[in-house]
Structure 1
Amino acid sequence: MQRRAWMWGVVAMAASLAAGAVHAQSETFPNKPITLIVPYGPGGVTDVIARALGLGMGKALGQNVVVENKAGAAGAMGVVDMLTAKPDGYRLTLAPVGIFRQPYIQKVAYDPVRDLTYIATFMTYDFILTVPSDSPIQTVQDYVAWAKKNPGQMSYGTPGKFTANHVAMALLEKKTGITLNHAPFKGDAEAINALSGGHITSAIFANSILPQVQAGKVRALATAADRRPEAFANVPTFREAGYEFDVPSPLGIAGPKGMPLDVVKKLDQAIKTAMQDPAFQQVVRNYGIRTDYRDHQAYAAFAKQAFAQEKDIVQGIGLE
């Protein structure tokens, strides 16, 4: 009995020391640079705004935030990385909404609710349906009418299969009964080049298309936003045009499961502070991005809701 009591005492002491070590580490957090994974290639809108946010976070935390690009797997490479990362707050990832969709489309190694700690969102994507400026199609109603008369002849580019861009157009097909020809590319840059070169007749982009719209090179027909983004104030939403859907797509930062709450709170506050940094605000203006802050609690609740809703979306539009 005495030996057993002694053993339990040793176990309790070890657990106490471990907890104390974790607490001490979180109290001094951060004491070294933090890595933020951007699950897309360098140079795109997401990469640019992530770097601006990282600079602001670095100022708030007193440590550098280093961006690491890991493109592929429909934006899920960062989430996969989190499966083996230490839950100490020094390795984080952007978490696009596509990670909630992928498990219903193909076999994945992660559970987006169970395997991540959600920290905060900082922006939302808006998706804009466009045609070349010399296209005879002037409105989204013209677009649907033409597609009905010419089934399968209207092509549209996206930055990839099963992206939110693809989902938006699949919803348009379902709501209207039209049949379109999907042309997936590796990113917005390739799709923009294809649209400009006349290789596709339309495309749906995130905010990266804003410079081409402002320059008059492409015509914006509709956005999949829940309300008109300021940068596209003259463009109707799909709902306003009579098609009852939108595609919310907030973007945030997550880490591995099991992160200490005080570390999560420090990172959450750093993100909130960084969103007010002048350099971040300038990038927001340059690309017409809508900011969208949700704290760690609201973001975790959104993740659970989105994961449940994506199943219905995928099955409803036949993407599985």
Structure 2
Amino acid sequence: MSHSTTRRTLLGTGLALGLAPAAQAQAYPTRPIRLVVPFPPGGGVDAVGRILSEPLGTLLGQPVVVENRAGAGGAIGVDQVAKSPPDGYSFSMVSPGNMTAGPLVRPTPYDPLSLGFVTMVVRSPLLLVCRNTLAAQNLAEFVALVKREPEAVRFASGGVGTGTHLAGELMNLRLGVRMVHIPYRGTGPALTDLIAGNVDIFFSDTSAWPMVQQGQLRLLAVSSAATWDTSPQTPSVGSVVPGFDISNWYGIIAPPGTPEPIRARIAAEVADIIKRPAIVETLQRIGFQPAAMPPAEFAAFVRAELDTWKAVVEAANIRSVD
């Protein structure tokens, strides 16, 4: 073989290799995609994952199969995806419990910042609810009460290190007070005791809303600076407590090293889905607002959340009791 023939052969081989990734990207996906929900069926993360799966599969041309892999506060399912091949066929739903607040209290087998960020999907405020017999009738009166008698106020949480716990500790930090923390094993027991009057306040997820509507609890404020569409007249905690702005949120991650074009495509498809009026209505009915973010923006958001909660965990000296 001549030198020129050899050179042409090598150039042809190089061009073919160079085109391979592009061809693969155009072909993706060629088989079903797994979307892990790292919590049991029936919760908010599960609901959002299932709302997305069918329309996402239609847009991608391949089924998106939801798999529930619960355990360790959502860490088991995320770790399983983190250790999967970075080929665009494994994704996981994530939340503060397994990405920001939780890992600061209970170390996870994965580094949240090393994961392949795809997109945030939804956000919702936490609802600052109180027992009906609490003397404070509104947020301003409650803050005045806390400043006057902080150790007389008992705030419930769904457990040590949960978002509901850290929200209460952030209020302590911002107001310079020390309310008494009463941890429960989940949101349900905390709400039950709040209705019974055994604790005073709780930063609940939106599952407390029906209890507010039924008159069993009083809604004092929402935790986010943005207005909550479900109850737009409700003030934000930050309107009285400077520097208080937190949300509950759910997003999607991929294994570390998953190609950016694949992550960007999934993010774009999800953004399209959650703009559809029927999907928006479904999400709002369960208390969520669409909140799509491209991969880089989602990664920056998680980094900022970790910084915020790290300061709270250190200031409150929170330690896992597991």
Does the alignment reach a TM-score above 0.5? yes
The residue identity in structure 1 corresponding to 2:166 is V
Residue number in structure 2 paired with 1:64:
63
Equivalenced residue count is 308
Residue number in structure 2 paired with 1:306:
305
Pick closer, same or farther for the CA change 1:104–1:192 going to 2, 3 Å: closer
Q: CA RMSD in A?
A: 3.0
Please state whether the residue corresponding to 2:110 is helix, strand or coil: coil
Please state whether the residue corresponding to 2:225 is helix, strand or coil: coil
Pick closer, same or farther for the CA change 1:250–1:16 going to 2, 3 Å: farther
Residue number in structure 2 paired with 1:136:
135
Equivalents in 2 of 1:290, 1:209: separation in Å? 16
Pick closer, same or farther for the CA change 1:318–1:18 going to 2, 3 Å: farther
Pick closer, same or farther for the CA change 1:287–1:45 going to 2, 3 Å: same
By how many angstroms is 1:20 displaced? 7.2
1:142-221 equivalences in 2 (<5 Å) = 142-148=141-147, 150-221=149-220
By how many angstroms is 1:69 displaced? 2.5
Residue number in structure 2 paired with 1:10:
none
Contact 1:37 1:68 in 2 (8 A): yes
Contact 2:36 2:81 in 1 (8 A): no
Equivalents in 2 of 1:31, 1:270: separation in Å? 17
Equivalents in 2 of 1:77, 1:231: separation in Å? 33
Residue number in structure 2 paired with 1:252:
251
Structure 2 unaligned segments of length 5 or more: list them.
1-11
Equivalents in 2 of 1:257, 1:293: separation in Å? 20
By how many angstroms is 1:117 displaced? 0.6
TM-score normalised by L of structure 1? 0.83
Contact 1:147 1:154 in 2 (8 A): yes
Please state whether the residue corresponding to 1:93 is helix, strand or coil: strand
Equivalents in 1 of 2:266, 2:272: separation in Å? 10
1:23-172 equivalences in 2 (<5 Å) = 25-98=24-97, 99-114=99-114, 116-148=115-147, 150-172=149-171
Please state whether the residue corresponding to 1:76 is helix, strand or coil: helix
Contact 2:157 2:183 in 1 (8 A): yes
Structure 1 unaligned segments of length 5 or more: list them.
1-12
By how many angstroms is 1:96 displaced? 1.7
1:212-251 equivalences in 2 (<5 Å) = 212-251=211-250
Query: Identity over the aligned pairs, expressed in percent?
Result: 27
Which structure has the higher relative contact order (CA within 8 Å, separation 6+)? 1
Pick closer, same or farther for the CA change 1:75–1:156 going to 2, 3 Å: farther
Contact 1:158 1:183 in 2 (8 A): yes
By how many angstroms is 1:285 displaced? 2.3
Q: Deviations over 1:71-110 (max 9, x none)?
A: 3433333322223111122221122234234444343322
The residue identity in structure 2 corresponding to 1:183 is I
Residue number in structure 2 paired with 1:268:
267
